[in-house]
A and B are shown apart, each in its own frame.
Chain A
Amino acid sequence: MEHIFTDLAALVAGWVSGSPQWVQTLVMGCLYLIGVLTFIFLNCIFLIYLERKVSAYIQQRLGPNRVGPRGILQPVADALKLLGKEDIIPEKADHWVFRLAPIIILVPAIMVFAVIPFGKNMIPVDLNIGVFYFLAVASTTTLAILMGGWSSNNKYALLGSMRAVAQIVSYEVPLAFSILGVVMIAGSLKTSQIVAAQENYWFILLQPLGFLIYFIAATAEVNRAPFDLVEGEQEIIAGPFIEYTGMRFALFYLAEYANLVAVSCLGVTLFLGGWHGPWLPSWLWFLIKVYILIFVFMWTRWTFPRIRIDHFLDFNWKVLLPLALVNILLTGIGLKLYQYITLGVW
């Protein structure tokens, strides 16, 4: 059970072992891509249903329960509905940018999964700069949202995309700094090494403040409440996505859930011990921990009101960033003390 996916990869590698190097890289790359895409899409489809059910139970109601047993086929109904919608592009909108934006937003959402360790020996690409690559690629989401909002030729969309730029760019900073503490302890940017360093105890015990900052910054990065100013439903209606219909809107939606899964996976990798765990296969432990973190994201979404933009930016630059810097300072001091205690030298 543990090795089911690695065995599959070894099988395919065996088929192409005689071919030239570039064929082998191509085939294995495609295999990993298909695996990652399957993971993302299955998760997103399930998350659509899970979000509605969790929000319903939190709000003392039942959620979807008509389509299929206990409503489990609701995402199918949603997908069919969105496919059947009329594809409207406003006349004065910038046509090419309008059409490109939903595609471009999905690309970084998929690319970041290249460095996530899904289980033991199950990283698609084990980069030396794994975490750095994740942060760099994830920031390009801003561009797609800006494109979507600007090209819609709608004032509400413009306001939403401006807010998105301010939000995502600002919250990159504490996100990066909170991860820095973990990198300092593990001694490497490689995700597989970070997970290996958590064999005995998870980093959330060593970096509680770092985890809290990461959680808050990640909520802001994926535009979820209480930081969903980008699509502040009650103020600017759907923000940059206001003019999108049908499948284009579905792609934005999909990208939002893919981003949620991505930050949860990174959170599990950095703070919750990755795929470590007794008895069950490693990839199953990974999945369980990711879903626990996703549940906490959903719990906070349905509890808290939306924060105001100036409080939001104040909170970022005046509270989160100093706390993240303090965290780094304490981590550094702690590491030196640990080194002294264990080795006797500073």
Chain B
Amino acid sequence: MNDLVATIIAKYNYWIYITLMMAGLYAMIAKNNLVKKIVGMNIFQTAIILFYVSIGVKKGATIPILEHAHGHGHDAHQAVHATDYINPLPHVLMLTAIVVGVATLGVALALAIRIYNTYHTLEEDEILAQIREE
């Protein structure tokens, strides 16, 4: 029991991100309004980004920019220890994911604008009713 509680507390970041992801996923599936679905999609993607970034954290380490490095050119003498700096790779991957999320958001909003111009509503059930009448 103590073990379980210790595990839960040691990994609390994962529980938070999973909850956020599922909130976004629920919004995408269950909401009726197109823009609310788009917002849910954004929440889902952002939660995944946070999840990745939290992988790279190391206790007691600083940001991944080498200190006292510029000015030495490429014969820097000080030894660099990997434990002093957090893992840079998840940050790099998530820069890409953020950009992809923004691009998808832009395309989704453009589609929503076109749909609004055609059907004059953003509620999905009203749009489907209009389609069925045609």
> Is B one of A's binding partners?
no
- Which residues of A pack against B, CB within 8 Å? none
